[in-house]
Amino acid sequence: MAFDRNFPSKAMSEHEKFVVPHEIDEILDRLPPQVTLHVPDNILSRWFPPGPSNGVMQGRALSYAKSCACSFAYHGDVGEGVFSKAIPPEE
């Protein structure tokens, strides 16, 4: 089930929020292990302002990923963030 997640930013005024499109919630909910979602930093900057320069964006993206049971890694050298799910342990 996908939910629209509005995350208020402590660094922004109370009237400013950032929103990840609800389609991304659905994609991450259905993301199988070993499949990744790569998002360019110019898009990440829109979803999690102010951008990659001071580390705030990465922290916000990581919090969002955790809320979707995913992990997040930012790769500044290629200018993208990667959402993924861990491979479940074998029983």
Residue 91, pLDDT score: 67
Residue that wins the pLDDT comparison between 54 and 7: 54
Burial of 68 (0-12, 13-18, 19+ CB in 10 A): buried
Burial class (CB within 10 angstroms; exposed 0-12, middle 13-18, buried 19+) of 80: middle
- Read off the pLDDT band of 11 (50, 70, 90): very low
Percent of the residues in the chain that have a pLDDT greater than 90, as a whole number: 25
Is the confidence at residue 59, as pLDDT, over 70? yes
* pLDDT beyond 90 at 83: yes
Which pLDDT does position 18 carry in this prediction?
A: 56
